A and B are shown apart, each in its own frame.
Chain A
Amino acid sequence: MTADSTTTHGGARPQATRMQHAIRVLVILDACGEVVKAGDPADAVKVIRSELRLQALDFWLRNPDYLADELVTKVEAGEFSESYLDTANHLLDDPEPDLRWYPMPRWHYGAYEAVDDAFSILDAYGLALLRRKGGVVKAARSQFFLTTKGKAAVADLAEEPRLSWYTEQVKLVALVAGTDLGSALKKRQYKQAEYAKTELGVNIAPIASGVRERLEKLRAANDHYSKDQGAPDAANHTDGSES
């Protein structure tokens, strides 16, 4: 079972289940993993080589407001086209992302929720592999591999009702994260003020209203100057609300 999910606005929020966590990790490996290299397990096709990166990606997948904030930042920086402001808007206002909003607590390495239970499910069915590098004394570095079977499962998942939302949403996460290493992602997330201010062990607070404000400002400014920065190649981009 997932750790400390808690109540937030609007009454009791049910805890995310181990199964949901497993689904998220699966789609993250597929969408955000890098292609395996020689020396990696034979059956593996994609890999995420640090838990920090995995946790950071999961954080964006679970917190649509922070994801929207990243989109605004990218548009602001001219990396993304202005149409991503609409996407950000959907993330903030549509009910769909909110249904999947499960806040995460912050630990020393940033947002963190133990991935073991969820990963064991993927492992049992041969969808993913966990390999640890390093010794017992020195902290081991975990590498998370997606297997061929796992990749096929993600394809199946995209056909599932409701669960297919994750295969879509994770594309935005991948787009936002790019190829940044876990530490870089963590840094970016630290830049998101609320995240940084959150005390250890406490759920990271939502920043929806602040993002909405930034977004409106940016929209107004862009309308004013009518400038189109040109979007990066985002073939897989869809609005978060549609799945």
Chain B
Amino acid sequence: MSTLGDAVHAECAKKGLKVEPEKIEQILTDAGVATSATTGVPVRLRVRRILAAGTKVLSASGENAESEESGPVAEASAHGANTSVPFNLDWSPADGINGVGSERNLRGKSSVLHFMAWALTGRCPLQTDVLSWVEHVEVEFSIDDVPVVVTFDVDSGVPVGAAVQEMTTGGTTRQTNLGSFSSDAEFESLMGALMLERLRLEPIAMWTIDKETSHAWPAYASALAVHADRLDPVVGNEGVLGTRMLQMFVGTSWAPTRAQAATALNAVKFARARASAKAKAAAEMTSTSIAVAEDRVTNAQELVDSFDAAEPDIDAMFSLAAAATDRARAAQELSLRLLTARSVATQVHDQLRAEQLRRNATIEDALARRFFNAMTPTVCPRCSAAVTSKRRDAEGHDHECSLCSSHLDLDAFAANVVVASEVPGDTRGEMVAATADAEAERAEFAADAPEDEDIDHEDDEHVVDALDALQQAASDADAAVAKLETDLAAAEQNRLDAEAAVQVSREGIERARARLRAEFELARAQGALESLQQTGVPVAPSPVDEVQVKVLEAADRLTGAWLKNDQDPLLVEVSKEITELARSFGADNITSVSLKGNANMDVYKGGAKSGYGSLTDGEKLRIKLATAIALIAHGHKAGVGRHPGLLFIDSPAAEEIPANDLEIMLSAMKAAAEETSMQIVVATTHGPMLASLLPPDNVLVATGRNFVW
């Protein structure tokens, strides 16, 4: 069992969580959390030699044209022609403080630092034009006194080369190729792996927002430089890494584990949060779907329930339809018969009317004739001759017309009808009959109240036959029509009833169809609901084991506490050192500083406390340099820490540092470097100062308008 594993086990047990120790180990291992402390032992990294060769092109408008004063190069530039100048930088910095200087800017002093950084990290910090001049670079490092040479040619900006370890035993130098590269990526990869391994550094695990990021060698390497124009944070050059950098450089035992545990915990928490959000969304979606599906089932069920269960009788429907057809046919037949009967009745009535008219005319005629005949003709209407009594008598005796002497029908005369015998017999007969009828009517008229007589019923026996027969026929026809009308009405009603029955029956079938559709819909709705219910609410298939979280939380807590316990005393020591150094650098108004575990710093000056961030740039530079040097010195003295003891300082005097202050700083740094094993390379325009302060081997200075290389 590991230290951390045991502690986590105990911590979990204390919290009532029973976890097998093996399981804890497994969780920690899987999460990439080292289970034992790794105490940082400083490894010394030094730059021994730097070679850079190539051809620089100086143009009238280039950065190098800044020099408008006399000089071969400047003169060439002034004429506007590009001048190719081969260069060959070869400098071997010594331990302690080294200075790269020129009297002017843009004379290549920063580039010297850049060549070293390039070789150190595999990442090229050179400006494009400078890069295009470089043909070959060779930098020899010493890592705990083991020489490692990084050599590469540059073709069109692409580095091709190798890292070689040189071992000299018994006067023989043996070279071991540590790796080759032929591109920027390969170069960086090689140097990252090589340096982390050799410097015994570990990648810094960080959790940013939603992913784990591993900061490796370039991050450390950048922390080896102090730029006058990049003074935040106090440790390193990247804000988010300040804390971790500090922890690593201070050399706290649990620093890597602490970082790993925190990162692993963040990762699982993030995974858990994301899984829970997903599960929640899924659950919401599912529950909404289920609600919709349930509604659908309810609605479908209601629809199904709204139908009665009666099955439609198709046979009944067909027989009803047949009956309806029969009844319709019957009604149609009756209707036709009625039409015929009406036509017959009309005809009979017409005939009856005609007979009545005829009889009226006949009888009226007879009555009129009788009326006139009862009178005595007096004069011939034709010739106005008087009708003599002789002629009148002749009617009785000789049966001659008193007017025209025509022979009269004797029989008719006996029946009171005056008609010439030459008149056709039929006519005479009709006249006699009509007269008889008229006589009868007169007799009846005289007997009864005449005003109530109805002409249709006052007929004589003689004529009753035809008229009565017609009247009978008419009333029969009317009765037939009436009966047929009644029958037809009944038949129509029957037909309507039958059709209504068919309609009802048909509606029953329609309802059955609709019910079937509703049942289908219900079945579908139920199916949909069931499948949703079976799928169920996805019970957050949490990829995050709560035990894992608990274990990592415990690990995070424990390592945090341990780290703090371990680190706090160290920070007190370092803070003391920083204060001294900062004061020696000229910031004598600062009474004390307190470096925090989170890489923040309280600064006390003139009795007041302020943060690092609120200091002036000059103060910041002094404190930042003091901190870097203090971390190196502390590691060296205590034998605990991970700072490789190499420091690049670029243009410190640019930031409100007066020349004499710089001198004080350099002197102080020199003193510190003599006490402690470290290598510092300072690039500054105060070349002469470097030359005066530092031993010649430690100085690479261009004087006047000259270039460093």
Q: Mark A11-31, 1 if CB is under 8 A from B, else 0.
A: 111111101101100000000
Residues on the B chain within 8 Å of A100, using CB: 360
Q: Mark B346-368, 1 if CB is under 8 A from A, else 0.
A: 00011101101110111111011
Determine the residue in chain B with the shortest Cβ distance to A166.
B364
> In the assembly, what is the distance between CA of A14 and CA of B357, in Å?
7
Q: Which of A77-127 contact B (CB under 8 A)?
A: 95-96, 99-100, 119-121, 123-127
Residues on the A chain within 8 Å of B365, using CB: 17, 19-20
Which one of A12, A121, A160 contacts B442 once the chains associate, using CB atoms below 8 Å?
A160
> In the assembly, what is the distance between CA of A79 and CA of B358, in Å?
37
Asked if A125 and B375 sit within 8 Å, CB to CB, the answer is yes
A10 within 8 A of B: yes
Residues on the A chain within 8 Å of B445, using CB: 160-162
In angstroms, how far is the closest chain B Cβ from the Cβ of A58? Answer: 15
B380 within 8 A of A: yes
Which one of A96, A163, A242 contacts B368 once the chains associate, using CB atoms below 8 Å?
A163
Asked if B375 and A19 sit within 8 Å, CB to CB, the answer is no
In angstroms, how far is the closest chain B Cβ from the Cβ of A28? Answer: 15
A157 within 8 A of B: yes
In angstroms, how far is the closest chain B Cβ from the Cβ of A10? Answer: 5
> In the assembly, what is the distance between CA of A61 and CA of B573, in Å?
156
Q: Which of B428-466 contact A (CB under 8 A)?
A: 441-442, 444-445, 450-451, 453, 455-456
Asked if A126 and B378 sit within 8 Å, CB to CB, the answer is yes
In angstroms, how far is the closest chain B Cβ from the Cβ of A228? Answer: 28
**How many chain A residues touch the partner (CB < 8 A)?**
34
In angstroms, how far is the closest chain B Cβ from the Cβ of A117? Answer: 9
Residues on the A chain within 8 Å of B364, using CB: 17, 19-20, 23, 162-163
In angstroms, how far is the closest chain A Cβ from the Cβ of B78? Answer: 129
Given A11-B354, A19-B365: A161 touches B382 (CB 8 Å cut-off): no
A243 within 8 A of B: yes
Asked if A125 and B372 sit within 8 Å, CB to CB, the answer is yes
B403 within 8 A of A: yes
B369 within 8 A of A: yes
Asked if B450 and A164 sit within 8 Å, CB to CB, the answer is yes
Determine the residue in chain A with the shortest Cβ distance to B361.
A14
Asked if A126 and B379 sit within 8 Å, CB to CB, the answer is yes
Residues on the A chain within 8 Å of B375, using CB: 125-127, 153
Which one of B353, B371, B377, B456 contacts A160 once the chains associate, using CB atoms below 8 Å?
B371
> In the assembly, what is the distance between CA of A119 and CA of B367, in Å?
17
Q: Which of A145-191 contact B (CB under 8 A)?
A: 153, 156-157, 160-164
Q: Which of B318-368 contact A (CB under 8 A)?
A: 349-351, 353-354, 356-358, 360-365, 367-368
Asked if B356 and A99 sit within 8 Å, CB to CB, the answer is yes
Residues on the A chain within 8 Å of B371, using CB: 23, 153, 156-157, 160, 163
B3 within 8 A of A: no
Q: Which of B353-410 contact A (CB under 8 A)?
A: 353-354, 356-358, 360-365, 367-369, 371-372, 375-382, 387, 403
Determine the residue in chain B with the shortest Cβ distance to A19.
B368
> In the assembly, what is the distance between CA of A54 and CA of B263, in Å?
140
Given A19-B364, A120-B381: A12 touches B354 (CB 8 Å cut-off): yes
Residues on the A chain within 8 Å of B349, using CB: 10
> In the assembly, what is the distance between CA of A96 and CA of B379, in Å?
35
Asked if A99 and B377 sit within 8 Å, CB to CB, the answer is no
Residues on the B chain within 8 Å of A156, using CB: 371
> In the assembly, what is the distance between CA of A95 and CA of B376, in Å?
34
Interface size class of B (residues with CB under 8 A): 35 or more
Residues on the A chain within 8 Å of B369, using CB: 19
Asked if B451 and A163 sit within 8 Å, CB to CB, the answer is no
Asked if B353 and A11 sit within 8 Å, CB to CB, the answer is yes
Residues on the B chain within 8 Å of A13, using CB: 354, 357
> In the assembly, what is the distance between CA of A23 and CA of B360, in Å?
14
Which one of B360, B403, B453, B456 contacts A124 once the chains associate, using CB atoms below 8 Å?
B403
Q: Mark B175-186, 1 if CB is under 8 A from A, else 0.
A: 000000000000
Which one of A10, A19, A121, A164 contacts B353 once the chains associate, using CB atoms below 8 Å?
A10
Choose among A96, A120, A163 the residue with the greatest number of B CB atoms under 10 Å from its CB: A163
Determine the residue in chain B with the shortest Cβ distance to A156.
B371
Q: Which of B153-200 contact A (CB under 8 A)?
A: none
Asked if A162 and B354 sit within 8 Å, CB to CB, the answer is no
Asked if A124 and B441 sit within 8 Å, CB to CB, the answer is no
Choose among A15, A123, A156, A242 the residue with the greatest number of B CB atoms under 10 Å from its CB: A123
> In the assembly, what is the distance between CA of A101 and CA of B455, in Å?
16
In angstroms, how far is the closest chain B Cβ from the Cβ of A129? Answer: 10
Asked if B361 and A20 sit within 8 Å, CB to CB, the answer is yes
> In the assembly, what is the distance between CA of A160 and CA of B353, in Å?
23
Q: Mark B138-153, 1 if CB is under 8 A from A, else 0.
A: 0000000000000000
Q: Which of A49-96 contact B (CB under 8 A)?
A: 95-96
> In the assembly, what is the distance between CA of A193 and CA of B66, in Å?
132
Residues on the A chain within 8 Å of B360, using CB: 99-100, 162
Choose among B371, B376, B382, B445 the residue with the greatest number of A CB atoms under 10 Å from its CB: B371
Asked if B351 and A162 sit within 8 Å, CB to CB, the answer is no
In angstroms, how far is the closest chain B Cβ from the Cβ of A104? Answer: 16
Asked if A17 and B368 sit within 8 Å, CB to CB, the answer is yes
Determine the residue in chain B with the shortest Cβ distance to A119.
B381
> In the assembly, what is the distance between CA of A161 and CA of B449, in Å?
11
Which one of B361, B363, B381 contacts A123 once the chains associate, using CB atoms below 8 Å?
B381
Given A12-B354, A153-B375: A162 touches B382 (CB 8 Å cut-off): no
In angstroms, how far is the closest chain A Cβ from the Cβ of B136? Answer: 132
Determine the residue in chain B with the shortest Cβ distance to A163.
B367
In angstroms, how far is the closest chain B Cβ from the Cβ of A8? Answer: 10
Determine the residue in chain B with the shortest Cβ distance to A130.
B381
Residues on the A chain within 8 Å of B362, using CB: 14
Asked if A22 and B368 sit within 8 Å, CB to CB, the answer is yes
Asked if B441 and A162 sit within 8 Å, CB to CB, the answer is yes
Choose among B350, B365, B368, B387 the residue with the greatest number of A CB atoms under 10 Å from its CB: B368
Asked if B441 and A11 sit within 8 Å, CB to CB, the answer is no
Residues on the A chain within 8 Å of B379, using CB: 123-124, 126
Asked if B354 and A10 sit within 8 Å, CB to CB, the answer is yes
Asked if A120 and B368 sit within 8 Å, CB to CB, the answer is no
Asked if A161 and B441 sit within 8 Å, CB to CB, the answer is yes
Determine the residue in chain A with the shortest Cβ distance to B381.
A120
Residues on the A chain within 8 Å of B456, using CB: 95
> In the assembly, what is the distance between CA of A15 and CA of B356, in Å?
13
In angstroms, how far is the closest chain B Cβ from the Cβ of A51? Answer: 16
> In the assembly, what is the distance between CA of A12 and CA of B358, in Å?
9
Which one of B351, B367, B372, B444 contacts A11 once the chains associate, using CB atoms below 8 Å?
B351
Residues on the A chain within 8 Å of B382, using CB: 120
Residues on the A chain within 8 Å of B354, using CB: 10-14
Residues on the A chain within 8 Å of B403, using CB: 124
In angstroms, how far is the closest chain A Cβ from the Cβ of B575? Answer: 124
Residues on the A chain within 8 Å of B350, using CB: 10-11
> In the assembly, what is the distance between CA of A191 and CA of B370, in Å?
39
Further pairs besides A10-B353, A23-B371: 5, Cβ < 8 Å: A14-B361, A15-B361, A19-B369, A156-B371, A162-B441
- Residues on B close to A: CB < 8 A? 349-351, 353-354, 356-358, 360-365, 367-369, 371-372, 375-382, 387, 403, 441-442, 444-445, 450-451, 453, 455-456
Q: Which 9 A-B pairs have the closest CB atoms?
A: A120-B381, A161-B445, A19-B368, A126-B378, A123-B381, A11-B354, A11-B350, A17-B365, A14-B361
